[in-house]
A and B are shown apart, each in its own frame.
Chain A
Amino acid sequence: MESKPVVLVENLHKRFDAAHVLKGIDLAVDSSRVVCVIGPSGSGKSTLLRCMAFLDRYDEGRVYIEGRLLGYREVDGKRTPDSDRNIDSVRSVIGMVFQHYNLWPHKTALGNVTEALRVVKKLGKAEAEAIGMEMLAKVGVDDKAHDYPAQLSGGQQQRTAIARALAIRPHVMYFDEPTSALDPELVGEVLQVMQELASDGMTMVVVTHEMGFAAHVADEVVFMDGGEVIERGPPDDIFKRPRSERLREFLDTWRSRTI
């Protein structure tokens, strides 16, 4: 029996007033697969990820998470926005990591990781902290558990944010340019954690400018430009045998900036 994709996106459209930023995107992410979305700034790749989490409301099309429609209810072909409770329920299997970490500065690293375990999963303090420490150890910041975000480096903050997302045992992880805000020397430690996650079989959707990561870790690379998917395929095809002019130009620009 063929299993359903963890994430299925069908003909997704998004408009911000007059700007049509997503023009009919289709995407299927199967279990334990890593999909990297690349493309120039403003191509709509972050918006796609945000719509796939319903942080931005999409206008047309559908997003299914493990077979459940996200964000809307459809009765007799009529679509109405879903309740917060249902939206929370559908996306409870998604862990998300943001470009700017979005840690809560008034809580320690451990406090950030245990918050959802205490409030959403209703775990006791000891149990939540045991899981929290396990997650922090997994990303290598357990020695900083009692530090506040301001006391951590950018890389440590992002790894804590990954631990926070992992704590709820997601079935799929979304990464929205997770290394773009980091100093160059801190990028590697975050990519390494992501690579380990991928090796462990985590299903991942990664919006990134890290072509090296996409080339080595992705099962599928999706190239977006102007709100459309221009090309998709295995990393070897995308990076070594680009078919479209736009992808060739994009890769040339990237190579000319890389020493």
Chain B
Amino acid sequence: MSFDIDIVLRYGPLLLSGLWTTVYICALASLLAVAAGLAVALLYSLPFHPVKLLCRAYIEVMRGTPILILLFILYYGGPSIGLTLDAEPVGIVGLGLYGGGYFAEIFRAGFQSIPPGQIEAARMLGIPRRMIVARIQIPQMLTLIIPPSTNQVIILVKESALLSIITVAELTKNTTQMVNETFAVIEPYVAVALLYWLIIEGIAFAGGVLERRFGRAS
């Protein structure tokens, strides 16, 4: 068996273009997932039953649906309800909402991990609820939620390969194009595996830095 590095070099620009698309789609989807997750976790902590029920439904639907089905519904089903989106926005929204279900659970566990006595102490000092969330709960949660959040972003990056099926020109889609054009299999897939590995190592490194930064006081 031989490994023809020339094929990889020849298709370098195509792979790098796919790499860039994967990176920015995942970055935007992660931001959306974190925002959605935080919003749902905060709403979930309110003492209103219907709101809790809606939050639970969102979490259960996102966790209970394969990401590919969600993407199909958004991309192919969207036009039938008057929602026509390009593949990339569908990818960002689909991945973001999907990840949001998991982030909501990560944040909810984070909120629950703060001893209620700390919140009572803050309330007795007259600190408003929103400031308790911003200054007492979230900073402490960070140390606890950074490791599972890092994992979640890594999973999101790996799931993003499925966007190739709805025609997003990301890393996997461009690699498949390379395979189709060259009939080579090993070189393209080893190269793309290496590129995914690099992204994921980067995320893991960033997660480690954040963990050390915010874990200092705990």
Contacts and interface: CB of A to CB of B under 8 A. Distances in A.
Interface of A: 53, 55, 84, 88, 91-92, 94-96, 98, 100, 102-107, 115-116, 119-120, 148, 150, 161, 164-165, 168
B1 interface: no
Given A84-B129, A102-B118, A106-B140, A96 B135 contact: no
Interface residues of B, number: 21
Contacts of B5: none
22 contacts: A53-B124, A55-B120, A55-B124, A84-B128, A88-B123, A91-B124, A94-B124, A96-B121, A103-B118, A104-B121, A104-B140, A105-B218, A106-B217, A107-B217, A115-B122, A115-B135, A116-B126, A120-B127, A120-B128, A164-B121, A168-B125, A168-B126
Contact of A96 (B124, B127, B128, B143): B124
Interface in B128-148: 128-129, 131, 135-136, 139-140, 143
Contacts of B139: 106
A115 B124 CA distance: 12
Nearest to B143: A106
Nearest to B121: A102
A58 B181 CA distance: 75
A95 B121 CA distance: 9
A12 B115 CA distance: 28
A92 B123 CA distance: 10
Nearest to A84: B129
A95 B136 CA distance: 19
A107 B216 CA distance: 11
B127 A98 contact: no
B50 interface: no
Contacts of A168: 125-126
B113 to A, nearest CB: 12
Contacts of B143: 106
B117 interface: yes
A27 to B, nearest CB: 19
Nearest to A108: B217
A161 B217 CA distance: 18
Given A55-B120, A105-B140, A106-B218, A92 B126 contact: yes
A119 B135 contact: yes
Interface in B95-135: 115, 117-118, 120-129, 131, 135
Given A102-B117, A102-B120, A148-B217, A120 B140 contact: no
A161 B115 CA distance: 16
Nearest to A98: B117
